[in-house]
Homo-oligomer: A and B are copies of this chain.
Protein backbone atom coordinates (compact mmCIF):
# COMPACT_ATOMS: atom_id res chain seq x y z
CA UNK A 1 0.00 0.00 0.00
CA UNK A 2 1.31 3.45 -0.87
CA UNK A 3 0.18 6.50 1.07
CA UNK A 4 -1.17 9.55 -0.74
CA UNK A 5 -2.40 13.05 0.02
CA UNK A 6 -4.94 14.98 -2.03
CA UNK A 7 -4.32 18.74 -1.92
CA UNK A 8 -7.45 20.67 -2.91
CA UNK A 9 -9.84 17.82 -2.15
CA UNK A 10 -13.00 19.93 -2.29
CA UNK A 11 -12.78 20.90 -5.96
CA UNK A 12 -14.37 18.65 -8.58
CA UNK A 13 -11.04 17.11 -9.58
CA UNK A 14 -10.19 16.49 -5.94
CA UNK A 15 -13.48 14.81 -5.09
CA UNK A 16 -13.19 12.75 -8.29
CA UNK A 17 -9.72 11.61 -7.20
CA UNK A 18 -11.28 10.36 -3.94
CA UNK A 19 -14.00 8.49 -5.88
CA UNK A 20 -11.43 6.69 -8.04
CA UNK A 21 -8.81 6.11 -5.34
CA UNK A 22 -11.54 4.50 -3.20
CA UNK A 23 -11.55 1.49 -5.52
CA UNK A 24 -7.78 1.30 -6.02
CA UNK A 25 -6.37 -1.80 -4.28
CA UNK A 26 -2.88 -0.51 -3.48
CA UNK A 27 -3.49 3.04 -2.31
CA UNK A 28 -4.43 4.64 0.99
CA UNK A 29 -5.49 8.30 1.12
CA UNK A 30 -3.93 9.53 4.36
CA UNK A 31 -4.49 13.22 4.05
CA UNK A 32 -7.01 15.49 2.37
CA UNK A 33 -6.53 19.23 2.48
CA UNK A 34 -8.57 22.28 1.58
CA UNK A 35 -7.79 25.96 1.76
CA UNK A 36 -11.43 26.96 2.19
CA UNK A 37 -12.95 24.09 4.19
CA UNK A 38 -10.19 23.30 6.70
CA UNK A 39 -11.49 21.51 9.80
CA UNK A 40 -14.72 20.31 8.21
CA UNK A 41 -15.72 16.69 7.69
CA UNK A 42 -15.36 15.80 4.00
CA UNK A 43 -18.78 14.13 4.16
CA UNK A 44 -20.24 17.37 5.49
CA UNK A 45 -19.01 19.27 2.45
CA UNK A 46 -19.97 16.45 0.05
CA UNK A 47 -22.91 14.49 1.54
CA UNK A 48 -22.64 11.81 -1.17
CA UNK A 49 -19.65 10.59 0.87
CA UNK A 50 -21.77 10.05 4.01
CA UNK A 51 -20.74 6.76 5.70
CA UNK A 52 -17.97 6.30 3.12
CA UNK A 53 -15.42 8.99 3.95
CA UNK A 54 -14.84 9.85 7.61
CA UNK A 55 -11.86 12.13 7.12
CA UNK A 56 -11.49 15.73 8.23
CA UNK A 57 -10.08 18.34 5.85
CA UNK A 58 -6.83 19.83 7.08
CA UNK A 59 -4.69 22.77 6.06
CA UNK A 60 -1.64 22.02 3.96
CA UNK A 61 2.04 22.18 4.84
CA UNK A 62 4.81 20.25 3.05
CA UNK A 63 6.67 19.42 6.26
CA UNK A 64 3.73 17.42 7.62
CA UNK A 65 4.05 15.05 4.68
CA UNK A 66 7.49 13.71 5.63
CA UNK A 67 7.29 10.05 6.56
CA UNK A 68 3.51 10.17 6.15
CA UNK A 69 3.02 10.21 2.43
CA UNK A 70 4.65 8.69 -0.67
CA UNK A 71 2.74 10.66 -3.31
CA UNK A 72 0.87 13.97 -3.41
CA UNK A 73 -1.89 14.83 -5.86
CA UNK A 74 -2.36 18.55 -6.44
CA UNK A 75 -5.93 19.35 -7.53
CA UNK A 76 -5.44 23.05 -6.91
CA UNK A 77 -6.08 26.27 -8.84
CA UNK A 78 -3.44 27.67 -11.15
CA UNK A 79 -0.41 28.98 -9.27
CA UNK A 80 -0.63 26.89 -6.08
CA UNK A 81 1.52 23.88 -6.91
CA UNK A 82 4.28 26.19 -8.17
CA UNK A 83 4.75 27.23 -4.55
CA UNK A 84 4.84 23.77 -3.00
CA UNK A 85 6.03 21.09 -5.40
CA UNK A 86 9.72 22.09 -5.44
CA UNK A 87 9.95 21.74 -1.66
CA UNK A 88 8.02 18.47 -1.66
CA UNK A 89 10.03 16.70 -4.33
CA UNK A 90 13.22 17.83 -2.59
CA UNK A 91 11.84 15.97 0.45
CA UNK A 92 11.78 12.87 -1.76
CA UNK A 93 8.01 12.75 -2.19
CA UNK A 94 6.56 12.31 -5.67
CA UNK A 95 3.97 14.76 -7.02
CA UNK A 96 1.25 14.55 -9.65
CA UNK A 97 -0.02 18.01 -10.49
CA UNK A 98 -3.49 18.28 -12.04
CA UNK A 99 -3.09 22.02 -12.52
CA UNK A 100 -1.24 23.64 -15.42
CA UNK A 101 1.72 24.86 -13.37
CA UNK A 102 4.30 22.39 -14.68
CA UNK A 103 2.96 21.63 -18.17
CA UNK A 104 4.79 24.25 -20.22
CA UNK A 105 8.52 24.15 -20.85
CA UNK A 106 9.21 27.82 -21.49
CA UNK A 107 8.93 30.21 -18.51
CA UNK A 108 7.83 33.04 -20.79
CA UNK A 109 4.71 31.08 -21.74
CA UNK A 110 3.43 31.15 -18.16
CA UNK A 111 3.44 34.92 -18.05
CA UNK A 112 1.77 35.14 -21.46
CA UNK A 113 -0.94 32.45 -21.04
CA UNK A 114 -1.34 31.98 -17.28
CA UNK A 115 -0.38 35.46 -16.10
CA UNK A 116 1.69 34.15 -13.22
CA UNK A 117 5.34 33.36 -12.46
CA UNK A 118 6.45 29.83 -13.36
CA UNK A 119 8.39 27.47 -11.11
CA UNK A 120 12.20 27.56 -11.30
CA UNK A 121 13.49 26.07 -14.56
CA UNK A 122 15.25 23.20 -12.84
CA UNK A 123 11.89 22.01 -11.52
CA UNK A 124 10.09 22.72 -14.79
CA UNK A 125 12.71 20.56 -16.50
CA UNK A 126 12.22 17.74 -14.00
CA UNK A 127 8.49 17.66 -14.72
CA UNK A 128 7.26 15.02 -17.17
CA UNK A 129 4.13 15.64 -19.23
CA UNK A 130 1.76 12.87 -18.14
CA UNK A 131 0.01 12.01 -21.37
CA UNK A 132 0.11 8.34 -20.48
CA UNK A 133 -0.40 6.76 -23.91
CA UNK A 134 2.48 8.78 -25.40
CA UNK A 135 5.05 9.36 -22.65
CA UNK A 136 4.77 6.24 -20.47
CA UNK A 137 8.52 5.57 -20.54
CA UNK A 138 9.45 8.98 -19.10
CA UNK A 139 6.57 8.96 -16.62
CA UNK A 140 7.77 5.72 -14.98
CA UNK A 141 10.83 7.49 -13.57
CA UNK A 142 9.36 10.94 -12.96
CA UNK A 143 9.04 12.57 -9.57
CA UNK A 144 6.95 15.46 -10.91
CA UNK A 145 4.19 14.60 -13.34
CA UNK A 146 2.34 17.45 -15.05
CA UNK A 147 -1.05 15.84 -15.58
CA UNK A 148 -2.39 17.04 -18.98
CA UNK A 149 -5.32 19.40 -19.38
CA UNK A 150 -8.66 17.99 -20.53
CA UNK A 151 -8.68 19.61 -23.99
CA UNK A 152 -5.03 18.67 -24.66
CA UNK A 153 -5.70 15.05 -23.65
CA UNK A 154 -8.66 14.66 -26.01
CA UNK A 155 -6.96 16.63 -28.79
CA UNK A 156 -3.49 15.09 -28.69
CA UNK A 157 -4.69 11.48 -28.50
CA UNK A 158 -6.78 12.25 -31.58
CA UNK A 159 -4.09 14.08 -33.56
CA UNK A 160 -0.76 12.41 -32.79
CA UNK A 161 -1.21 9.16 -34.78
CA UNK A 162 -2.19 11.16 -37.88
CA UNK A 163 0.73 13.58 -37.71
CA UNK A 164 3.20 10.78 -37.00
CA UNK A 165 1.94 8.95 -40.08
CA UNK A 166 2.21 12.12 -42.14
CA UNK A 167 -1.48 11.78 -42.99
CA UNK A 168 -2.24 15.43 -42.28
CA UNK A 169 -0.65 18.85 -42.58
CA UNK A 170 0.25 19.95 -39.01
CA UNK A 171 -0.11 23.61 -39.93
CA UNK A 172 -3.74 23.06 -40.92
CA UNK A 173 -5.02 21.67 -37.63
CA UNK A 174 -8.23 23.17 -36.25
CA UNK A 175 -9.68 22.00 -32.93
CA UNK A 176 -13.28 22.77 -32.06
CA UNK A 177 -13.50 21.95 -28.35
CA UNK A 178 -16.79 21.33 -26.53
CA UNK A 179 -16.85 20.91 -22.77
CA UNK A 180 -19.35 20.15 -20.02
CA UNK A 181 -19.68 22.72 -17.25
CA UNK A 182 -17.85 20.76 -14.54
CA UNK A 183 -14.67 21.66 -16.43
CA UNK A 184 -14.99 25.19 -15.08
CA UNK A 185 -14.88 23.87 -11.53
CA UNK A 186 -16.90 24.42 -8.39
CA UNK A 187 -16.09 28.10 -7.98
CA UNK A 188 -19.14 30.31 -8.41
CA UNK A 189 -19.39 32.40 -11.58
CA UNK A 190 -22.13 33.65 -13.87
CA UNK A 191 -20.67 31.36 -16.54
CA UNK A 192 -21.62 28.35 -14.43
CA UNK A 193 -24.91 29.74 -13.06
CA UNK A 194 -27.62 27.25 -13.98
CA UNK A 195 -30.10 29.64 -15.59
CA UNK A 196 -27.32 31.16 -17.72
CA UNK A 197 -25.89 27.85 -18.96
CA UNK A 198 -28.91 25.58 -19.22
CA UNK A 199 -30.59 25.67 -22.66
CA UNK A 200 -27.62 27.73 -23.79
CA UNK A 201 -24.48 27.20 -25.84
CA UNK A 202 -21.58 29.62 -25.91
CA UNK A 203 -18.04 29.92 -27.24
CA UNK A 204 -15.36 31.33 -24.96
CA UNK A 205 -11.66 32.28 -24.77
CA UNK A 206 -11.17 32.01 -28.55
CA UNK A 207 -7.49 32.27 -29.42
CA UNK A 208 -6.42 32.97 -25.85
CA UNK A 209 -7.02 29.66 -24.05
CA UNK A 210 -4.07 28.44 -21.94
CA UNK A 211 -4.38 24.97 -23.49
CA UNK A 212 -3.15 26.32 -26.85
CA UNK A 213 0.56 26.45 -25.94
CA UNK A 214 0.23 23.09 -24.18
CA UNK A 215 -1.09 21.40 -27.32
CA UNK A 216 1.37 23.15 -29.65
CA UNK A 217 4.34 22.27 -27.43
CA UNK A 218 3.52 18.56 -27.52
CA UNK A 219 2.79 18.60 -31.27
CA UNK A 220 6.17 20.23 -31.84
CA UNK A 221 7.87 17.69 -29.60
CA UNK A 222 6.27 14.87 -31.57
CA UNK A 223 6.57 16.31 -35.10
CA UNK A 224 9.83 18.19 -34.56
CA UNK A 225 8.33 21.21 -36.32
CA UNK A 226 6.40 24.26 -35.18
CA UNK A 227 2.66 24.14 -35.70
CA UNK A 228 0.21 26.92 -34.94
CA UNK A 229 -3.18 25.40 -34.30
CA UNK A 230 -6.58 27.07 -34.44
CA UNK A 231 -8.36 26.29 -31.20
CA UNK A 232 -11.83 27.25 -29.95
CA UNK A 233 -13.74 26.16 -26.86
CA UNK A 234 -17.49 25.93 -26.28
CA UNK A 235 -19.51 25.49 -23.10
CA UNK A 236 -22.17 22.75 -23.44
CA UNK A 237 -25.15 22.37 -21.06
CA UNK A 238 -24.10 19.08 -19.49
CA UNK A 239 -22.09 18.36 -16.36
CA UNK A 240 -19.48 15.81 -17.47
CA UNK A 241 -18.03 15.14 -20.86
CA UNK A 242 -15.85 16.67 -23.50
CA UNK A 243 -15.59 16.35 -27.25
CA UNK A 244 -12.90 17.72 -29.56
CA UNK A 245 -13.83 17.85 -33.22
CA UNK A 246 -10.54 18.10 -35.07
CA UNK A 247 -10.07 19.15 -38.70
CA UNK A 248 -6.90 18.88 -40.79
CA UNK A 249 -5.97 18.80 -44.49
CA UNK A 250 -5.22 15.31 -45.74
CA UNK A 251 -1.75 14.90 -47.30
CA UNK A 252 -2.77 11.83 -49.24
CA UNK A 253 -5.77 10.07 -50.73
CA UNK A 254 -6.87 7.69 -48.00
CA UNK A 255 -10.16 6.04 -47.05
CA UNK A 256 -11.84 6.22 -43.66
CA UNK A 257 -11.33 2.46 -43.34
CA UNK A 258 -7.58 2.81 -43.85
CA UNK A 259 -7.30 5.59 -41.28
CA UNK A 260 -9.33 3.61 -38.75
CA UNK A 261 -7.18 0.54 -39.31
CA UNK A 262 -4.03 2.58 -38.75
CA UNK A 263 -5.36 4.16 -35.55
CA UNK A 264 -6.51 0.79 -34.20
CA UNK A 265 -3.03 -0.56 -34.83
CA UNK A 266 -1.42 2.48 -33.23
CA UNK A 267 -3.47 2.11 -30.04
CA UNK A 268 -3.73 -1.67 -29.94
CA UNK A 269 -1.76 -1.93 -26.68
CA UNK A 270 -3.52 0.98 -24.99
CA UNK A 271 -6.53 -0.19 -22.99
CA UNK A 272 -8.05 3.26 -22.56
CA UNK A 273 -8.16 4.40 -26.17
CA UNK A 274 -10.98 2.86 -28.17
CA UNK A 275 -10.88 3.59 -31.90
CA UNK A 276 -14.37 3.18 -33.30
CA UNK A 277 -15.19 1.24 -36.48
CA UNK A 278 -15.47 3.24 -39.72
CA UNK A 279 -18.98 4.62 -40.12
CA UNK A 280 -19.54 5.10 -36.40
CA UNK A 281 -18.76 8.04 -34.13
CA UNK A 282 -18.33 8.18 -30.34
CA UNK A 283 -20.58 10.17 -27.99
CA UNK A 284 -19.51 11.62 -24.64
CA UNK A 285 -22.02 9.62 -22.62
CA UNK A 286 -20.29 6.46 -23.87
CA UNK A 287 -17.24 7.29 -21.70
CA UNK A 288 -19.06 8.90 -18.73
CA UNK A 289 -17.37 8.19 -15.41
CA UNK A 290 -14.64 6.13 -17.09
CA UNK A 291 -11.02 6.66 -18.13
CA UNK A 292 -11.65 5.92 -21.83
CA UNK A 293 -10.82 8.20 -24.71
CA UNK A 294 -12.95 7.15 -27.68
CA UNK A 295 -11.97 8.22 -31.18
CA UNK A 296 -13.97 8.31 -34.40
CA UNK A 297 -12.55 9.13 -37.82
CA UNK A 298 -13.85 10.37 -41.17
CA UNK A 299 -11.67 10.92 -44.23
CA UNK A 300 -13.81 13.43 -46.14
CA UNK A 301 -12.77 13.03 -49.78
CA UNK A 302 -15.02 15.87 -50.95
CA UNK A 303 -13.20 18.48 -48.93
CA UNK A 304 -9.86 16.71 -48.63
CA UNK A 305 -9.91 16.87 -44.86
CA UNK A 306 -9.56 14.39 -42.04
CA UNK A 307 -12.15 14.81 -39.29
CA UNK A 308 -11.32 13.33 -35.89
CA UNK A 309 -13.88 13.08 -33.09
CA UNK A 310 -12.28 12.49 -29.70
CA UNK A 311 -14.35 12.20 -26.50
CA UNK A 312 -13.42 11.86 -22.83
CA UNK A 313 -14.93 12.43 -19.41
CA UNK A 314 -13.21 15.70 -18.54
CA UNK A 315 -13.03 14.77 -14.85
CA UNK A 316 -11.62 11.26 -15.44
CA UNK A 317 -9.34 10.85 -18.48
CA UNK A 318 -9.21 14.66 -18.53
CA UNK A 319 -8.12 14.93 -14.89
CA UNK A 320 -8.37 12.47 -11.98
CA UNK A 321 -8.42 9.24 -14.00
CA UNK A 322 -5.29 10.04 -15.97
CA UNK A 323 -3.68 11.09 -12.67
CA UNK A 324 -4.30 7.56 -11.32
CA UNK A 325 -2.97 6.12 -14.58
CA UNK A 326 0.21 8.18 -14.07
CA UNK A 327 0.44 6.90 -10.50
CA UNK A 328 0.08 3.33 -11.78
CA UNK A 329 2.98 3.92 -14.18
CA UNK A 330 5.20 5.44 -11.50
CA UNK A 331 4.65 2.54 -9.11
CA UNK A 332 4.89 -0.13 -11.78
CA UNK A 333 1.31 -1.35 -11.51
CA UNK A 334 -0.90 -2.26 -14.44
CA UNK A 335 -2.11 1.02 -15.97
CA UNK A 336 -5.75 -0.03 -15.58
CA UNK A 337 -5.53 -0.71 -11.83
CA UNK A 338 -8.49 0.96 -10.12
CA UNK A 339 -9.84 2.22 -13.43
CA UNK A 340 -11.76 -0.75 -14.78
CA UNK A 341 -15.32 0.47 -14.08
CA UNK A 342 -17.72 0.48 -17.02
CA UNK A 343 -18.95 3.88 -18.28
CA UNK A 344 -22.29 4.78 -16.70
CA UNK A 345 -24.92 4.58 -19.43
CA UNK A 346 -27.45 6.05 -19.65
- Interface residues of A, Cβ cutoff 8 Å to B: 12, 15, 18-19, 22-23, 46-52, 174, 176, 178, 180-182, 186, 188-190, 192-204, 206-207, 212, 228-232, 234, 236-241, 243, 245, 247, 271, 274, 276, 280-290, 294, 296, 298, 300, 302-305, 307, 309, 311, 340-346
User: Contacts A48-B287, A234-B243 given: A341-B342 contact, CB under 8 Å?
Assistant: no
24 contacts between A and B (CB under 8 A): A12-B346, A15-B345, A18-B342, A47-B276, A47-B280, A47-B286, A48-B343, A50-B294, A188-B188, A188-B189, A194-B197, A196-B346, A199-B199, A199-B288, A202-B282, A203-B309, A207-B300, A207-B302, A207-B303, A212-B302, A228-B303, A232-B307, A237-B237, A289-B289
For A346, the closest partner residue in chain B by CB is B195
Contact B243 A203 (CB under 8 A): yes
Residues of B within 8 A of A237 (CB): 194, 198, 236-238
Contact A283 B345 (CB under 8 A): no
User: Contacts A206-B298, A245-B176 given: A229-B343 contact, CB under 8 Å?
Assistant: no
For A311, the closest partner residue in chain B by CB is B201
A229 shortest CB reach to chain B, Å: 6
For A51, the closest partner residue in chain B by CB is B274
User: Contacts A47-B280, A186-B195, A189-B188 given: A239-B346 contact, CB under 8 Å?
Assistant: yes
Residues of B within 8 A of A343 (CB): 48
Bound Cα distance A247, B300 (Å):
17
Contact B341 A238 (CB under 8 A): no
Residues of B within 8 A of A195 (CB): 12, 181-182, 186, 192, 239, 346
A270 shortest CB reach to chain B, Å: 10
A37 shortest CB reach to chain B, Å: 12
For A271, the closest partner residue in chain B by CB is B51
User: Contacts A182-B195, A276-B47 given: A241-B200 contact, CB under 8 Å?
Assistant: yes
Contact A48 B241 (CB under 8 A): no
Residue of A23, A229, A245, A344 with most partner-chain B CB within 10 A: A344
Contact B298 A22 (CB under 8 A): no
User: Contacts A176-B176, A342-B18 given: A285-B234 contact, CB under 8 Å?
Assistant: no
A sample of 9 more A-B contacts (CB under 8 A), given A192-B194, A201-B283, A201-B311, is: A18-B342, A47-B282, A48-B285, A48-B342, A50-B286, A199-B199, A201-B236, A203-B245, A206-B281
Contact A178 B234 (CB under 8 A): yes
Residues of B within 8 A of A212 (CB): 302
For A301, the closest partner residue in chain B by CB is B207
Contact B345 A46 (CB under 8 A): yes
For A19, the closest partner residue in chain B by CB is B342
For A192, the closest partner residue in chain B by CB is B194
Contact B194 A193 (CB under 8 A): yes
Residues of B within 8 A of A305 (CB): 174, 230
Bound Cα distance A200, B48 (Å):
12
